[in-house]
Amino acid sequence: MSQTSHQDIQELLGAFALDAVDDDERDLVEAHLAGCPRCRAEVATHRETAALLAHGGDRAPEGIWARITENLEEAPPAIDLAPMSSLETARHRRSRRSISLRAAAAMGAVAAAVTAFFGWRIGVQDQRLDRVAAEFHELAAKDGLRRAATAALSAPDAEQVRLASFDGRTGVHVVRLPNGTGFAVADGLAALPADRTYQLWALREDAKISLGLLGRDPDVAPFQMVGPVLGFAITDEVAGGVKETGQSPVVLGFTELGQKGQDTRPTA
Amino acid sequence: MSIDDIRNASDATLVVSIGRYHQEALAEAYRRHAGAVFALSRRLLVERALAEEVVQEVFLRLWHHPEKFDPDRGSLRSYLLAQTHGRAVDLLRSEVSRRAREQRDAAATAEGGYDLEHAVVDLAVAEEVRAALESLSPGERRAIELAYFGGHTYREVASLLDEPEGTVKSRIRTGLRRLRGALIDAGIGAP
């Protein structure tokens, strides 16, 4: 099979998607797929169809979960294999959270915190976030993300923050859903040299928390951040990002909570 | 993310969360999909211990390499099931489990060959999927069932059915396409 045409490969795609090809054919198809989006799409479609055939499973087997968690890095959460919890409980939690948010807003510490961008300590979760930041940047190039971000921007319960440069000319939109999933639509930022990257930060009263690297020429980037945030900022850093920044933000914006803090800030 | 948020999160959001090492997100992905993953792996491997091992591997892989899942290329379920199928078939074809397979094939032959696969499929899949399967030609249906649920290569299927390899190869492809069309008509699966 030294000379394999595109058509020969196409003929194999159904069998390939069902793992029904020999090893040498599999290698051949995989090599082809790397450079052929159309065939990749066909394989994805076949797998989607096959997944519907396999739809026979009911409840998740419980014993295996315990073994999986033994191999994870931290203590396992309790898993409840029963169906969804009631809406009632969900509402309960949500209202409780918004109360604690208001309580946080009332604290004087919040007001003081937004007065300075520099010198905040970095969040503990940071090393982990940076480990996956590169992967998220790769994802950020994709259309799916832009669609997701657009949907989030139109969600009524989303937190929306416009980050602006000091001259007000560059704008970035940050949107965060109640579940903590957020997007930075940062395609307005000018491309940086190859050895630099933009880095997104959440501003909390006692720390700047890195939400990930946006790359040198950002588009739409997802992030995950729960809990109250005073604002968001983007800095220009060395490629690979930093744990703690000494840079002045390229763009900066405050959440409603952060703005409240600024309003009540004693004027110097 | 609170537990309630996780329960309501999309699969894609769960995977982003898994990327952030949130075990609760993995637990939720497990709750949603492990049943199907286990059912497929059990159907292919028969032996429970082996099937459980595959489930474990598939979810650990999701934990360690969440970036391998690309939401633009399909659903999380189809991704996990493709992983499951690939791994189960590897095991099935490996030297170690050849014996188990021979036993299983012997049992299947005793009970009427691929008709057993038919019976299993009929019991397991939703009515709409069963109806969609009916829309296939018998040749297409057998080829897909033997390949997907039997873990056979198309060459093996050809020899089992005593048909040319090229015919089986293209039946699998056209059958999958026809099946997809029928499923879309039945309102299952996105066009």
Give tens-digit pLDDT for A24-59. Answer: 999 999 999 999 999 999 999 999 999 888 765 566
Test mutation, A1, A10, A18, chain B, max B CBs within 10 A: A18
CB A54 to CB B81 under 8 A?
yes
- Smallest CA–CA separation between B106 and chain A, in Å? 21
Closest residue of chain A to B143, computed from CA coordinates: A15
Does one domain contain both B92 and B145? Answer: no
In this structure, what CATH number is given to the domain that contains residue B24?
Answer: 1.10.1740.10
Distance from CA of B154 to the nearest CA of A (A): 5
CA distance B10 to B14: 6
CB contact under 8 A, B30 and A60: yes
Return the amino acid letter for A92: H
pLDDT at B118 over 70: no
Q: How confident is the model at residue A129, as a pLDDT?
A: 43
Partner residue opposite B173 with nearest CB, options A11, A56, A65: A11
Spans of all domains in chain A = 6-53, 91-263
Interface touch A20/B153, C-beta < 8 Å: yes
Residue A222 has pLDDT above 80, yes or no: yes
> Does residue B106 sit within a domain?
no
Q: How confident is the model at residue B100 (pLDDT cuts 50, 70, 90)?
A: low
Instruction: Give the closest residue to B82 by CA, choosing from B132, B117, B36, B113.
Output: B36
From B59's Cα to the closest Cα of chain A, the distance in A is 7
* CA distance linking residue B147 with residue A47, whole number of Å: 13
Do the domain assignments include residue B105? no
Residue A68 and residue A136: Cα distance in Å, rounded?
A: 25
User: What residues of B are in contact with residue A50 (Cβ under 8 Å)?
Assistant: 78, 81-82, 85, 148, 176
Same domain, B116 and B56: no
pLDDT-derived band of residue A101, with 50, 70 and 90 as boundaries? Answer: very low
Q: Which residues contact B183 (CB under 8 A, 6 or more apart)?
A: A49, A52, B128, B129, B132, B189
Q: Which residue from B minimizes the CA distance to A225?
A: B1
Q: How many Cβ pairs closer than 8 A exist between chain A and B?
A: 231
Kindly state whether residue B130 falls inside one of the protein's structural domains: yes
- Phi-psi domain of A114 (left: phi exceeds 0; alpha: psi -120 through 50; beta: other): alpha
Q: Which is higher by pLDDT, A100 or A194?
A: A194
Best probe of the B interface among A12, A49, A126, A220, by most B CBs < 10 A, is: A49
* A139/B67 Cβ within 8 A: yes
Q: Which of A59, A71, A129 sits opposite B20 (nearest CB)?
A: A129
Q: Is residue B103 domain-resident? A: no
B1 and B89 belong to one structural domain: yes
B22 and B86 in a single domain? The answer is yes
Which candidate from A15, A45, A54 shows the least CB-CB separation from B180?
A45
B97, B130, B149 — which closes off a domain?
Answer: B97
B chain contacts of residue A11, beta-carbon cutoff 8 Å: 166, 169-170, 173
C-alpha to C-alpha distance for A99 and B84, rounded to whole angstroms: 44
Mean pLDDT of A220-225: 84
Residues B35 and B121 in one domain: no
* Residues of chain B contacting residue A29, judged by C-beta atoms under 8 Å apart: none
Q: How far is residue B34 CA from its own chain's centroid?
A: 12
What is this structure's pTM?
Answer: 0.55
Q: Where are the alpha helices (DSSP H) in chain B?
A: 3-8, 11-19, 23-45, 48-64, 76-93, 98-110, 114-124, 127-134, 138-148, 154-161, 165-185
Q: Which residue has the higher pLDDT, A78 or B167?
A: B167
Q: Which of B65, B97, B129 is the last residue of a domain?
A: B97
The enclosing H or E element of A119 equals none
Q: pLDDT of B37-56, one tens digit each?
A: 998 998 888 888 889 999 99
Q: What is the pLDDT of residues B142-158, one digit of tens each?
A: 999 999 988 999 999 99
Closest residue of chain A to B86, computed from CA coordinates: A19
B7 and B86 in a single domain? The answer is: yes
Q: Distance (Å, rounded) from C-alpha B36 to C-alpha A54? A: 7
A17 contacts: CB under 8 Å, gap ≥ 6: A43, A46, A47, A50, B82, B176
Measured from the Cβ of residue A56, the count of other Cβ atoms closer than 10 Å reads 20
Q: Please give the residue range of the domain that contains residue B79.
A: 1-97
Confidence of residue B184 (pLDDT cuts 50, 70, 90): confident
Q: How far is B93 from chain A (nearest CA, A)?
A: 10
Better pLDDT: A228 or A154: A228
Residues B9 and B86 in one domain: yes
Show residues of chain A in contact with B124, CB under 8 Å: 55-56
User: Could you give phi then psi for residue A130, rounded to 5 degrees?
Assistant: -65, -30
| pLDDT at residue A24, as a whole number | 93
Determine, yes or no, domain membership for B104. no
Residues B142 and B190 in one domain: yes
B142: distance to nearest CA of chain A, Å?
13
A232-262 pLDDT, tens digit each = 999 999 888 888 888 888 898 888 888 776 5
> In whole angstroms, what is the distance from residue B13 CA to residue A144 CA?
12
Query: What pLDDT is stored for residue B163 in this prediction?
Result: 94
Is B102 part of a structural domain of the chain?
A: no
User: Do B117 and B87 share a structural domain?
Assistant: no
Comparing alpha-carbon positions, the chain B residue that sits nearest to A58 is B35
On whether both B3 and B75 belong to a single domain, the answer is yes
How distant is the Cα of A211 from the closest Cα of chain B, in angstroms?
Answer: 10
Select from B64, B97, B130 the last residue of a domain.
B97
Burial class (CB in 10 A: 0-12, 13-18, 19+), A143: exposed
Q: Please state the rounded mean pLDDT for residues B56-80.
A: 90
Whether B34 sits inside 8 A of A132 (CB atoms) is no
Q: Which one of B16, B80, B134 makes the best mutation probe of the A interface by having the most chain A beta carbons within 10 Å?
A: B16
Task: Please answer yes or no on whether B55 and A61 come within 8 Å at the CB atom.
Answer: yes
Q: Which residues pair with A259 in a beta bridge?
A: none
Within 10 angstroms of residue A265's Cβ, the number of other Cβ atoms is 15
ipTM comes to 0.85
Residues A93 and A228: their CA atoms lie apart, in Å, by: 15
Q: Give the SS3 label for residue A5.
A: coil
Our CA-based measurement puts residue B165 at a distance from the nearest CA of chain A, in whole angstroms, of 11
Contact A76 B23 (CB under 8 A): yes
CATH number for the domain including B135?
1.10.10.10
Please list, in sequence order, all residues whose beta carbon lies within 8 angstroms of the beta carbon of residue A34, skipping any fewer than 6 positions away. Answer: none
Q: Does B63 fall in a domain? A: yes
Q: What percent of chain A has pLDDT over 70?
A: 66
Which of A29, A64, A69, A129 to probe by mutation at the B interface, max B CB count within 10 Å? A64
Q: Give the number of domains in chain B.
A: 2
